[in-house]
Structure 1
Amino acid sequence: MPGIENIKHAKSPDTRGCILLVDDEPNILASLLRELRGAHQHILSATDGVNAINMMANNKVDLIVCDANMPGMSGADLLAVVQQRWPDTVRILLTGYPEHSNTIRAINEGRIYRYLTKPWNSDQLRITVNQGLALQHAQSERRRLEQINRQQYQELQELNNTLEARVVERTVELERANGELEQAHQSLQKSYVTATQVFSSLINLRLPPEKQSNAKVSSLVSAFCDKVALSEKHRQDLAIASALYNIGKLTWDDVLIAGSPDRMERNDRERYRTYPVVGESLLMSLEPANDAATIIRHHQERWDGAGFPDGLSGEAIPYGARVLKIATDYVELQMGMLLSRKLGHEEAIEAVRKYSGRLYDPALCEPYIEVMAMIESTQTSDDTVLVLDTARLEPGMVLVKDLHALSGMLLISAGKPLTERLINKLVVFEQNEDATYQLFVRVSEIED
């Protein structure tokens, strides 16, 4: 508020003050100047009332000391003018006749602060002047603060009159801004997850086609998140972790990447056990991926504590890592990435059930098995899903499963509505790759 700023930044008044000495006798003026000059640097002098009034008009005078008996305009007359035109100026009368009628008039009409008799006492003169200046400054400061107080009071009144409306208006603005920020944050997070999926498809370029597991792991984890209604934060962290869980394998040579752990030599097996730590270190510099990096580090821990890299057990293993562990094992068992032979769907489910409480969190196994069975059933019998080539696609269809190129690169993520422009680009891409794509789209979306 302006008033508050005035108080905070206002300069303190000049306590030295400005003094005007008026006397028609030069020797008296000289004596007064000698008495007061040491303590007061700004001192004016005049030898008559007319000159004194001119000086008052051109200078801010805090205190005037005036001789009572001067030719022309008497001291009483001068102080009466000063009282009318400059009432804030402290007025002191200097007289040799305290009972003189001029002194009485000065008291009555000039409303003087004090009068001193000639010859004066030096200490009394200085004390009286100093007290007069202190009074003048105190009164000036009081008026200044009163003015600020009145201004503040008026501003507070105006503020109170509009405060409720302004609070409501500001609340609406804040709610709208918070909504926009939340929406922007969610959009950014989704974009970040999508970017990791694209990056995951680049990882697949190093992996043999039969061992490109990221997309299947991501789909299974996403279905599990739906099943148990995980929070959006958990879903996003798991989406990033499932897309990039094997990023640490990029440092391997092609022979090691293509091998399965049960047939690795000791040195290769030791290197295999480091890939979760390498994956974590590659992602820790990306702040939005920090929690996902922790999940990746611990996704090979076992419920019984015999896993790696840190030998954590039970609930000491981060929840997201326990979720990812089941999904990666289930998918990699079917792709021949853990054992030298590939397991079928039922065998992989049976392995999850068998090792519940040893490798896996037992509380997660049954919900996961239900999700696995549901996905298998949907892929084989869901009549709401069509598998179409690009020639039969129509704008408005919505993709049910991620579409990957032959190289493993992600082309379109699940949930993406198909447009005519996007379909034409797929046709061109097919021709360039000399490939034929099969897309999973939902019937209900087509009808809509």
Structure 2
Amino acid sequence: MTVEADQPLPTPEPPLQPVATLLLVDDEPNVLSALKRVLRSENYLVLTANDGEAALAILEQEAVDVVISDCLMPGMDGAELLSQVQRMRPECVRILLTGQSDMNATVRAINEGHIYSYIAKPWDDHKLRLTLRQAVAHQLAEREQKRLEALTLQQNQELVELNATLEQRVEARTQELKQITDMLDAAYDELKHSYVMATRVFSSLITQRMPRHLHANAQVGDLIQAFADTHELEDSLRRDLLMAAALYNLGKLGWDDRMLTTPSERLFAEDRKAYRRYPETGESLLMSLEHLQGTARFIRHHREHWNGDGYPNRLKGEAIPYGARLLALAVDFIELQRGMILPRKVPRQQALDLLRKLSGRVYEPSLCQAFIALCVEQAPDLGQAGKTMLSLETRQLKPGMILGQDIHSATGILLLNEGKELTQHLIDKLCKLEEVEGGSYTLMVCKPGDSDPSESDGNDA
């Protein structure tokens, strides 16, 4: 018996924890080595065993999420091993690795071992990795469902006990009813929180395929949340939009690393076609989840254009779902700044200018105006939680204010970086630069303390 763990991929600190533990079982060392090579780029802890007995011994000692077993092995074959795994660790996902001549054993594994899937030899590396990702996501979803069921059962039992004693406490009836209401509200909030957390787990599986500097979902979600709060969107629309912000790039899971890191405007030919299919792919992956139908619809249509030349259905104007129109603004605004659309990172103010320029062609004019106003006045994407953020012109700046974002010149040159404390000298230089360029700067600033930085000169920021 051998137990080995793959060396983790080099990642930015802190290192990522493995998303799952895999146990590979095969009597041929070269097959185990080949499987490990295929999975080296995945964030798994990989254990190996060369026969069924060794595999069962590992299962007694280790918390294993997925077992992949060869079908034909000396002694205990794959079907018998997976059957014992099912009895020993029913929560463990079981996958059979089988050849064309192993059909009888495969049927046994399905009937006795209740396997999740089988993979035919010789396997396709991409399909093998995709099957494992789906298996891990399936197990995470089942764990969350069991947790919620246990929580609901516990809360139902508590309600039963309360109702049994309710009539015996008539004098405190009003207070008890209030306590029960509070408990129900807390339970409902917990269920909603769990629902959101499950989606975030799923979203994290998507973002792990992308480099850290291209993780855009969190900022897109912040923008959607702030817009929903400001414009008091109804709860169902808000929920579907936040789910769409977490899952909008689900359709990119099947892309290779090169496509994931190439700006969309640099994709051509077949790559371009694959890119234009990702909204439909994302929708199709969610269609079986009834509670995410609204989310799936927003994801499908968030690349439609107001003038009708978008995709996949060339919808025009009001025919585009409202949530898809808003999602498109948030996604494009963040991805422009990350360099995911154009072959360069677009500074924040220039990204806003580009949204404004495309209003009426790509974006709904009134919604685009409201979105830009949100970004200018509140700047939720800057992550300045707990700080007062204000949009000021150069003449309103005061020494001691702190920049909330980088300032770039009209030609894209970085002038001042985020977090810089303004001095009178710097403010004078900005004013002078405005005179030379013939334009004006609008800056996002925060100031220590709770006072409004514009109060001292009477201007309303």
**Normalising to structure 2: TM-score of the pair?**
0.43
Higher fraction of helix: 1
**Normalising to structure 1: TM-score of the pair?**
0.45
